Amino acid sequence: MNNDTNPTRFGSGQAVRRLEDEGLLTGKGSYADDLMPANQAYLCFVRSPYPHARIASTDVAAAQGMPGVLLVLTGADLVAAGVKPIPGVAGFVRADGSAGATPPRRALAHERVRFVGEAVAAVVAQTLQQARDAAEAIVVDFEELPMVVNLADATAPGAPVLCDAAPDNISAEMRHGDANATAAAFARAAHVVALDVTNQRVAALTLEPRTVLASFDKASGRLTIHLSTQMPSGARDTVSDALGLPHEQVRVVVGDVGGGFGMKTGAYPEDVVAAYSARTLKCAVKWAAERSEEFLSSAHGRDVQSHTELALDEHGKILALRIASFANVGAYATGVGVAIQLLIGPWVQTSVYDIQTIDFHFKAVLTNTAPTGAYRGAGRPEAIFNMERLMDEAARQTGIDRVELRRRNFIRPEQMPYKNPMGQTYDTGKFEHVMDQGLALADWNGFAARAAASKARGKLRGLGISTFLEWTGGNVFEERVTVSVQADGIIEVYSAVNAMGQGIATSLAQLVVDAFGVPIDKVRVVLGDTDRGNGFGSAGSRSLFTGGSAMRVGADRTIEKAKQLAAKELEAAAEDIQYANGTFKVAGTDLELDLFALAARQPEQRIFMDSTSSVAGPTWPNGCHVSEVEIDPQTGAVAVVAYASVNDVGRVVNPMIVRGQLDGGAVQGIGQALHEHVVYDRETGQLVTGSLMDYCAPRADDVPAFRHELDESSPCLNNALGVKGVGELGTIGAVPSVVNAVADALARGGHASQAPGLQMPLTAVKIWQSLQAAG
């Protein structure tokens, strides 16, 4: 067999070029906005200019009479039509035990608006310009109400109230651990370290804005929604529930997706309006967000303020961890937005350290801002940032070397499986081993010479480290796949996990190659169609370890079924049938039968398997990320000049894709550390950073040459492949390592007093002011 057809060149462990890329690079991609059905209409929204107001009246008469207008909708119209609100904060409670509180989030605001950019009316017209013109003709009479956009104001006595069920603006809260035991540990501690830590609000900034195309089939009465989403089944369920339709009456189809980063993990109000409009008009209706609309109304990430405290004994052993956090969940608390901050982040708060005594108190706060939700890492970056900032500050205050402090507190391999104080069980992990590799890769011991060279050029150089783990999986461990071996020589597989630029189709194809031993060009991966199969989708770095494991199990089951069919054709016992590289053979004979020829002999011209399987639990990828920065003391500008990481992601299916995921995650982490910040004006509630003119995203010149290495010595024990999630690891590791490097640079430059107060983003003006304050 020549190299071009040798299946081993395309199986697991090989850096196979992404199958998705050729079509995208040659302009053959198919995004939701590329679809142009006949008689397509366009949807445009009227959005609130106020952060909090009553809707006194809405005059749509002029708009209804304008050229090309097909439909004008208000919130009152949708309420009258029975359109239900999007589900809120189910399953969480307030301090008094009552249900978690949130205002009802409707597809179009009804009676009150609660953040700038909330949709209050919609126009469908024959052309986009006609829809825009008509939207401008709608007159909404708003009666302004008191508003609040930040955490301190929202939780102050007498603050404006967003929801009657939460007069204190606390949507939900949770407490974890043992407060008394923690207090006792702090009382006997030799060292107590405290930091106030802010994880600022950020925007996801996908290259492709949210887009929805809803169409109605008169013959079947079904809706088909082409959507840019990570979770087709979940989006379908939310839309169909809002419209009061059976789930099977709505189909969601996903083509290419230009980035998700967690922001596209569910249905938005605009999706419901598009679907309702398509059913009402019996035609196709499209809405594609403008960038300004994305800043205003897409889910933001982070926005958490925490008071963190660490108790240590005289030897630097951690005795207890105490954290109180307020999370700004925006005007409408969602289940995802609240869970991320009150539960998921806390699951990893103690990270790779052996800490069993905790007192965590987390509150989700309503404000007149856009709702927050999942953004790459979703709670874990916030938690790890808290922990790693505390570890470096503890080292600074105790005088214990920061690497040695980590070493003294790591969970050891012999403690595995290890249950952390949040009840989460780590199956594997060699945290000290990973750190030692990371230090070597970064040439930690050679830093002094590099710092001296920077000093000679008038720069301050700093070295930062983060050692950490994360939880992956969304705690949805079952996945369904279908495998179809076809007579035309193709193995077509379907999975409900979804592509969004991360290369999952290539990795799934490699797993099919592993099982069947056929060239990768014989494999066709189909994703993103709720008529083909349902599942949780792609979120929480679950695509490969859940979806990939299901794919391998489904492929193996298909082969076993095919052996039974081959046994009949070859007139042999099934146990005598051997399979390898696309061929069935009878043991000890020269009888054989090609896989695809066998498929051709079946009544349906295929061998089909519908397979559902589960993994045993989440995965716990971990890493050591090391950053080096230079600060120009004349301007305060920070440059990341070196970045190295060693990552335990279990077994690696495609090292090129894994490294690409680490690169992308680290870039976003660097962006949060140094630049990104969604800002609302405290006095007016207006979004100050409403465009890329005002919101600073990381650029190519912010990024050093990354060095990522992969440690496969601790395969995951919870899935058949031994893989661990990787998509969010770079973001989680980059943020604290960069900030710790800046703090280290300040300390080395004689400004150690400024290090504890550093708050992201570490812009040039902030650093310059810190240097000036320190003299």
Is the bond preceding residue 421 a cis peptide, omega within 30 degrees? no
pLDDT by residue (tens digit) across 584-638?
A: 999 999 999 999 999 999 999 999 999 999 999 999 999 999 999 999 999 999 9
Cα–Cα–Cα angle for 31, 259, 370, rounded to 5 degrees: 110
CATH of the domain at 249: 3.90.1170.50
Residues 16 and 38 in one domain: no
User: For residue 223, which of 496, 530, 527, 447 has the smallest C-alpha distance?
Assistant: 530
* Confidence check: pLDDT of 1 > 60: no
Rg (CA), the chain: 27
What is the domain extent for residue 269?
33-145+209-293
* Confidence check: pLDDT of 767 > 70: yes
CATH of the domain at 583: 3.30.365.10
* Confidence check: pLDDT of 430 > 70: yes
- Is 169 inside a domain boundary? no
Angstrom distance (rounded) from CA 592 to CA 582: 10
608 three-class SS = strand
> DSSP readout, 34-93?
G---TT-EEEEEEE-SSSSEEEEEEE-HHHHTSTTEEEEEEHHHHHHTTPPPBP--TT-B
Q: Per-residue pLDDT averaged across 70-87, rounded? A: 98
- Is 177 inside a domain boundary? no
* Confidence check: pLDDT of 377 > 90: yes
421 three-class SS = coil
* Confidence check: pLDDT of 727 > 80: yes
- Is 428 inside a domain boundary? yes
Supply the pLDDT for residue 385: 98
Residues 364 and 415 in one domain: yes
Ranges assigned E (strand) in 537-637: 577-580, 583-586, 592-594, 606-614, 622-631
Partners of residue 320 on adjacent β-strands: 311
Q: Which two tokens stand for residue 143?
A: 């009666």
Counting Cα atoms < 13 Å in the Cβ hemisphere of 26 gives 6
Counting Cα atoms < 13 Å in the Cβ hemisphere of 396 gives 24
Angstrom distance (rounded) from CA 319 to CA 354: 9
- Is 307 inside a domain boundary? yes
- Is 186 inside a domain boundary? no
Angstrom distance (rounded) from CA 734 to CA 640: 11
Q: Per-residue pLDDT averaged across 718-741, rounded? A: 95
Domain count, the chain: 3
673 three-class SS = helix
* Confidence check: pLDDT of 427 > 60: yes
Partners of residue 627 on adjacent β-strands: 464, 643
* Confidence check: pLDDT of 498 > 90: no
> DSSP readout, 674-706?
HT----B-TTT--BS--STTTS----GGG---E
Q: Per-residue pLDDT averaged across 510-520, rounded? A: 95
Q: Which residues contact 436 (CB under 8 A, 6 or more apart)?
A: none
Q: Per-residue pLDDT averaged across 230-247, rounded? A: 96
Q: Which of 570, 589, 614 is the last residue of a domain?
A: 614
554 three-class SS = helix
Angstrom distance (rounded) from CA 207 to CA 750: 42
- Is 167 inside a domain boundary? no
**pLDDT-wise least confident of 18-27, 37-46, 130-139, 281-290:** 18-27
Q: What percentage of the chain has pLDDT greater than the value 90? A: 92
- Angle at which helix 729-748 crosses helix 764-773, to 10 degrees, equals 30
Count of CB atoms situated within 10 Å of the CB of 410: 20
Q: Per-residue pLDDT averaged across 100-128, rounded? A: 98
Supply the pLDDT for residue 773: 86
Residues 521 and 595 in one domain: yes
pLDDT by residue (tens digit) across 281-311?
A: 999 999 999 999 999 999 999 999 999 999 9
* Start-to-end C-alpha separation, the chain: 71
* Confidence check: pLDDT of 208 > 60: yes
Q: 8 pLDDT band (50/70/90 cuts)?
A: low
Q: Which residues contact 45 (CB under 8 A, 6 or more apart)?
A: 119, 121, 122, 123, 135, 270, 273, 287, 293
Report the 3 state secondary structure along 625-648: EEEEEEECCCCCCEEEEEEEEEEE
Q: Which residues contact 503 (CB under 8 A, 6 or more apart)?
A: 18, 20, 654, 657, 660
Angstrom distance (rounded) from CA 549 to CA 515: 12
Angstrom distance (rounded) from CA 657 to CA 710: 12
Q: CB of 670 within 8 A of CB of 702?
A: yes
The one-letter amino acid code at 563 reads K
pLDDT by residue (tens digit) across 386-420?
A: 999 999 999 999 999 999 999 999 999 999 999 99
Angstrom distance (rounded) from CA 55 to CA 532: 43
The one-letter amino acid code at 439 reads L
Query: What b/e string do you get for 334-346 counting C-beta neighbours within 10 Å, with b at 16 or more?
Result: bbbbbbbbbbbbb
* Confidence check: pLDDT of 559 > 70: yes
Residues 450 and 358 in one domain: yes
Q: CB of 102 within 8 A of CB of 169?
A: no
- Pairing between strand 318-330 and 69-74? unpaired
- Angle at which helix 729-748 crosses helix 380-398, to 10 degrees, equals 30
Angstrom distance (rounded) from CA 430 to CA 418: 12
Angstrom distance (rounded) from CA 642 to CA 230: 33
Residues 108 and 253 in one domain: yes
How many residues does this entry show for the chain? Answer: 775
Residues 346 and 480 in one domain: no
Angstrom distance (rounded) from CA 69 to CA 135: 10
Count of CB atoms situated within 10 Å of the CB of 197: 23
* Confidence check: pLDDT of 376 > 80: yes
Residues 587 and 668 in one domain: no
- Is 193 inside a domain boundary? no
Supply the pLDDT for residue 4: 52
Q: Which two tokens stand for residue 232?
A: 């087709």
Q: Which two tokens stand for residue 393?
A: 């500050």
Place of tokens 């982490």: 669
- Is 168 inside a domain boundary? no
| Helical H segments across 258-353, by residue range | 269-281, 291-297, 335-339, 345-347
Q: Which of 244, 269, 293 is the last residue of a domain?
A: 293
Q: What share of the chain is helix, strand, coil (3-state, %, to 5)?
A: 35, 25, 40
Angstrom distance (rounded) from CA 484 to CA 610: 9
* Confidence check: pLDDT of 3 > 50: no
Give Cα separations from 632 to 433, 460, 627 (angstroms). 35, 7, 17
Q: 2 pLDDT band (50/70/90 cuts)?
A: very low
Backbone region of residue 68 per phi and psi (left: phi > 0; alpha: psi in -120 to 50; beta: other values) = left
Angstrom distance (rounded) from CA 494 to CA 498: 10
Residues 562 and 468 in one domain: no
Residues 288 and 305 in one domain: no
Q: Which of 588, 614, 640 is the last residue of a domain?
A: 614
Residues 358 and 442 in one domain: yes
pLDDT by residue (tens digit) across 457-478?
A: 999 999 999 999 999 987 888 8
Supply the pLDDT for residue 5: 59
Place of tokens 């797993």: 511
Residues 240 and 135 in one domain: yes
Angstrom distance (rounded) from CA 514 to CA 9: 10
Q: What percentage of the chain has pLDDT greater than the value 70? A: 99
Q: CB of 65 within 8 A of CB of 382?
A: no
pLDDT by residue (tens digit) across 146-172?
A: 999 999 999 999 999 999 999 999 999
Residues 504 and 375 in one domain: no
